[in-house]
Structure 1
Amino acid sequence: MTRATALRLPQRLPSRTPDRDVRGKVVAITGAGRGIGLATASRFADAGAIVVIGDLDDDVAAKAAMQVGGGAEGYVVDVADRESFAAFLDRAEALGPVEVLVNNAGIMPLSPLVDQSDASIDKVLDINLRGVITGTQLAARAMSARGHGHVVNVASAVGRIGMAGGAVYSASKFGVVGFSEAMAGELRPAGVDVSVVLPTVVATELGAGVSATRGMRACKPEEVADAVLSTVRRPQFETWVPGYAKGIFYGSNTFPRRIRDAISHAMKADSSLTAIDAEARAEYERRASR
């Protein structure tokens, strides 16, 4: 066989890395009593994982665990309280090494910044950002020592696109994205993955009264849950829900600011968090304030 003939022969392509199996793995999820967290817990349980549900309300956590089934357990966790978060992870570790931590807990009170109380601002930052930092730090220590693990932080499209009416919420989610990017580089040498999932408007209590931007639709919590599970099975840093929102964001970012602003206005994205149905959000706003 000549050298030229050899070069024409088809080359064997590298085999696709198999998806990671979550069966029998301990997966801890915060804010999993409702909405995205509950849907995510169900997806992991259906995939054979040992799911540990964390919620601020003990009754909600216990009921969620019963609903999810598959041996899921539910415990109280206040992600804004370091001792509470540590105790939650200790309980999860009692079932086995925590292979996956999903930092999902978050709140989204909406109002102009000038009308937002100091207490509300502190609560948003403590839960949405500080809670993610605390949980990641606590979980990463054990994961790094074992040489493997995965932290998935549920952020938001508003963590890439600041929107009027939710300035502090947006700041917290921008913080989550930036923190996660830094931690992905910091923990990679230890064999630990860090990912962010960025949903647009989701049809949950948190998203009540908020309309999707023109040309988009409200996602179902199960779609976000599928994205989280897919990210754990095949790790990547950034996942948008729906997926095409990522193309819209990065595509529009190639334009100058004035054109991006015009696109945002045409899609009604610039009023997404200001032109809300206050009556539809009333119950959620009351609960979030408590």
Structure 2
Amino acid sequence: MSKVIAVTGAARGIGLATARALRDKGATVVIGDIDEAAVTEAGRGLGVDAFALDVTSRESFAAFLGRVERLDVLINNAGVMPIGPVTEESEADARRCLDINVHGVMTGTKLALERMLPRGRGHVINIASLAGVLPTPGLALYNASKAAVLAFTEATRLEVRERGVHVSAVLPTFTNTELVAGTRSPKGQKNCEPEDIAAAIVELVGRPRPQVVVPRRLGPQTRLGTLLPDGVKRAIARKYGLDTLFLDYDHAARKVYDARIRS
């Protein structure tokens, strides 16, 4: 793979695993993250260029992409996931969640398109979530942000698809990163690992498609689920514990993550 690929939110989790997988495939990878110390360490470990990046700042994002020569692929991965009752989520949490998860993706996509459209080639990959199509109690802010990412990604894809540039969304299920700290897995379901999502992204870079669900088997189930009556959806949520998953959780186990995303 000879592509030049930039990955945001790559100091840890899915972003770091994706950067590693793409590097191993021969891509030239550049990573960014708001945690400058962590991304610098990650870049050193991977042997790739790493820079501080605040996706909520157009100036910071433009400077980051300005360091990437001949950008082929941008992976908008940076995101945060506040959880808990919607009435207890602060205005600051709501604004920060939307600023990072939605506006950050929008800004990155637009800046990348400015570079790609004149050349008539390129690929923007936005990391969304199955949470964007499966509203869940205790996850209202995150649900809203990822639904917005999905709508934005698809509309942008339709707008530029005849101009040689691909725009795709990736929808992971529960994945073992800091985002799910203190929560439990749905009954009978094993969480994905960051490497599972990274493998799907590597495949998507090689064969662009509009949307990828990880794991793939959940794609048909998710589409079918949206057609079910509300009573059936509620019964399924109770069966798998989805109705309490993000309301009844270990606050102490999330303390470090919550403090970091609010700092």
Fold match by TM threshold 0.5:
yes
| Structure 1 residues without counterparts, runs of 5 or longer | 1-22
Indicate the percent of aligned positions where both proteins have the same amino acid. Answer: 43
Taking the aligned partners of 2:96 and 2:239, their CA distance within structure 1 comes to 33
Deviation readout 1:81-102 (Å, 9 max, x if unpaired) = 0100000000113xxx110000
Q: TM-score, normalised by structure 1?
A: 0.88
- 2:58 is the alignment partner of 1:82: yes
- Aligned with 1:206: secondary structure? helix
Q: How does 1:269-288 map to 2 (within 5 A)?
A: 269-288=242-261
- Two-structure CA RMSD over aligned residues (Å): 1.1
| Structure 2 residues without counterparts, runs of 5 or longer | none
Taking the aligned partners of 1:62 and 1:255, their CA distance within structure 2 comes to 47
Matched with 2:237 is: 264
Kept in 2, the 8 Å contact 1:201–1:210? The answer is: no
Q: How many residues align?
A: 263
What is the aligned counterpart of 1:189 among 162, 166, 175? 162
Taking the aligned partners of 1:127 and 1:254, their CA distance within structure 2 comes to 30
Supply the AA of the counterpart residue of 1:87: A
Taking the aligned partners of 2:147 and 2:42, their CA distance within structure 1 comes to 29
Q: How does 1:29-68 map to 2 (within 5 A)?
A: 29-68=7-46
- 2:241 is the alignment partner of 1:289: no
Q: TM-score, normalised by structure 2?
A: 0.97
Q: How does 1:157-196 map to 2 (within 5 A)?
A: 157-196=130-169
Deviation readout 1:21-62 (Å, 9 max, x if unpaired) = xx2311000000000000000001001011000011222121
Matched with 1:249 is: 222
Deviation readout 1:189-231 (Å, 9 max, x if unpaired) = 1111111111111111111112221232111000011111111
Taking the aligned partners of 1:29 and 1:247, their CA distance within structure 2 comes to 28
Matched with 1:150 is: 123
Deviation readout 1:133-184 (Å, 9 max, x if unpaired) = 0000000111111111111111111011111111111100000001011011
Higher CA-based Rg: 1
Matched with 1:102 is: 75
Taking the aligned partners of 1:246 and 1:276, their CA distance within structure 2 comes to 27
Matched with 1:14 is: none
